[in-house]
Chain A
Amino acid sequence: MGAEFVQLSLIPVLIGILSAVACALPGNFLILRRQALIGDAISHVVLPGIVIAFLLTGVTSVAPMLLGAAGAALVAVGLIEVVKRLGGIEPGAAMGAIFTTMFAAGVLLLDRTDTSTVHLDVEHALMGNLESLVWLQAEGWHSLLDLAILATLPDELVRIATVCAIVVALTLVFWRWLKISTFDEGFAQALGIPAAGLGLGLVVTAAIAAVAAFDAVGSIIVIAMFICPPAAARLMTNRLEHQVAWSVAFATSSATLGYIFAGYGPLWFGSPAAVSASGMIASISGIILGLACLYGPQRSRVK
């Protein structure tokens, strides 16, 4: 694998891996908190926030979009509380009502505004544009050492790498707090840990990861990566530390294998057309989860 791989495949593979890891890390805690679908919900809820950020700034750059998304996530959490309290209905129903309403508002906004100049449409939202993220300036592996050529790396890569680094750092710094408040919230609060704020921080972090990944690879991967690698990892071990390590390994291999199969798989079966990398990555993560359900050492723990 030489210059062509670096030019055409390296960047999408890296973006796929970084997106998968950024989503899988918070996904571990969301799953343990029985909030797995919040990842899915987030990618819906943040849409109006992203569109509004775009309307205000006129550009699709990372900072305003992330702020818009995080703002939308916070608004959603607040609205859910309000509906729960005032309406006296159960949390699930309140979430459903708010999520669908906000997604609908996002679609309406998108429809009513002129976003034709930018890559903000439904197909892109679902599948991203992983295959188009090429690095034509690169001449081979040695380009990775050449600062001038490194500067031409696609923005999408820089963006998702930054977000992934933030997610990793937050996970490491708040590890103990996240672990104890997910296991035993009352005890965590008795220790003085701000469990409610931490839960909100987790959702906002997940929202940021979702938005960054959503931009590069589409919502299909986001949903799959929040759920499949952590769920499969839970079946491998009874220790949170190991579970998170497994989830990162599963996310990484889903992204790598998925991209390779999407690009080369159809050729092996004599078909010239490549399939969607995002779809394939999501499928591989699903297959890994299936295998973990069949063969994972801790699969039978649920009595």
Chain B
Amino acid sequence: MSPTIKPAIVSDLGHAVGPARAPRDAALAIHGLTVSYSEKPAVFSVDAAFSTGEISAIVGPNGAGKSTLLKAALGVIPRLSGEVYVFGDTLRNARARIGYVPQSASVDWDFPTTVLDVVQMGLYRKLGLLGRLSGQGRAQALECLDRVGLADFANRQIGQISGGQRQRVFLARALAQDADLLLLDEPFAGVDAATERAIIGVLKLLRKDGKTVVAVHHDLATIRDYFDRILLVNVRRIAEGPVATTFTTENLQATFGGRLATTHLSELAIMDDGH
């Protein structure tokens, strides 16, 4: 809960756009989001606000609904109830400002397409259905590929690169979207140490440019190094706030229950000397 209770935010059109706890400057504000694939909801009544210009983590055990939360926020899957605001606007109006990196398992790696081609898919929204891809667009895609250190792999088939490189190609595609808000689903899953450094380097540069990054993250050991804010979820919201005050043993215990050894948790949460 935010300390101050403000009246409901009123949009330019004059109608209420959300309850008091949504800060107007939030890049992504989620209110009472519930999503369900069957009778049991995968995400239940979650509130969250991700501030502009910060790198935020979404953390929770497997099956906690983290991917579902991102997809519902993007409108990829329908929500049962709840509202989503992107930079204070509706998803429909703000869609062009969002970049997305899906969980890598969701893609057909045998698809006949090249690395550069995949990055160019980030330009599709701007190009529309029939707009021609200009030389400028191609150069832009190549530059995004260069930013993740993969310019040399532009003409490889997408399946013929390593897992870490695939993850970087997806990041390059999100960069090509030229978005203000980036949603990443486990960008560090299955990548080597060098790729992880490259990716976090790019994300920190984005933050410097005032962009907002929200990433599903698994490795509790790097939370303090990488992230400003954290949302702990397990179907419901467990806790949300700055890493310094929210990433506590107590909250981790509430999120993961008996799934992590207590000693392991306290070790991670108290450790604040970095490494």
Instruction: List the interface of chain A (C-beta within 8 A of B).
Output: 32, 173-174, 176-177, 179-180, 182-187, 189-192, 234, 237-240, 242-243, 301-302
Closest Cβ of chain B to A44, distance in Å, is: 27
Q: Is the CB of B111 within 8 A of A301?
A: no
Given contact pairs A182-B108, A186-B102, A240-B111, a sample of 8 additional A-B residue pairs in the complex whose CB atoms are under 8 Å apart: A174-B129, A180-B121, A182-B111, A183-B111, A183-B121, A184-B108, A187-B102, A238-B157
Q: Is the CB of A187 within 8 A of B114?
A: no
Q: Supply 11 A–B pairs (Cβ within 8 Å), ascending by A.
A: A173-B129, A176-B124, A183-B107, A186-B106, A187-B102, A189-B74, A190-B102, A191-B124, A234-B112, A239-B112, A240-B113
Contact string against A for B residues 84-122, beta-carbon threshold 8 Å, 1 for contact and 0 otherwise:
000000000001001010100011101111100110010
Contacts A182-B108, A239-B112 known; A176 to B129 CB distance under 8 Å? yes
Q: Is the CB of B111 within 8 A of A190?
A: no
Q: Give the contact-size bracket for chain B.
A: 20 to 34
Which of B76, B107, B108, B160 is the one whose CB lies under 8 Å from A190?
B76
- In the assembled complex, which residues on chain A have CB atoms less than 8 Å from the CB atom of B130? 173
B237-275 residues with Cβ-Cβ distance < 8 A to A are: none
Q: Is the CB of A187 within 8 A of B100?
A: yes
Complexed CA–CA distance, A180 and B75 (Å):
17
Q: Is the CB of B75 within 8 A of A189?
A: yes
- In the assembled complex, which residues on chain A have CB atoms less than 8 Å from the CB atom of B75? 189-190, 192
Say whether B61 faces chain A, with CB atoms less than 8 Å apart: no
Contacts A191-B124, A237-B112, A301-B157 known; A186 to B76 CB distance under 8 Å? yes
Complexed CA–CA distance, A264 and B180 (Å):
66
Which of B95, B113, B157 is the one whose CB lies under 8 Å from A192?
B95
Q: Which residue of B lies closest to A243 (CB)?
A: B112
Instruction: List the 8 closest A-B pairs by CB distance, nearest first.
Output: A238-B157, A190-B100, A189-B76, A186-B102, A190-B74, A183-B111, A240-B112, A191-B125
Which of B102, B112, B125 is the one whose CB lies under 8 Å from A184?
B102
Contacts A176-B129, A180-B124, A238-B157 known; A32 to B108 CB distance under 8 Å? yes
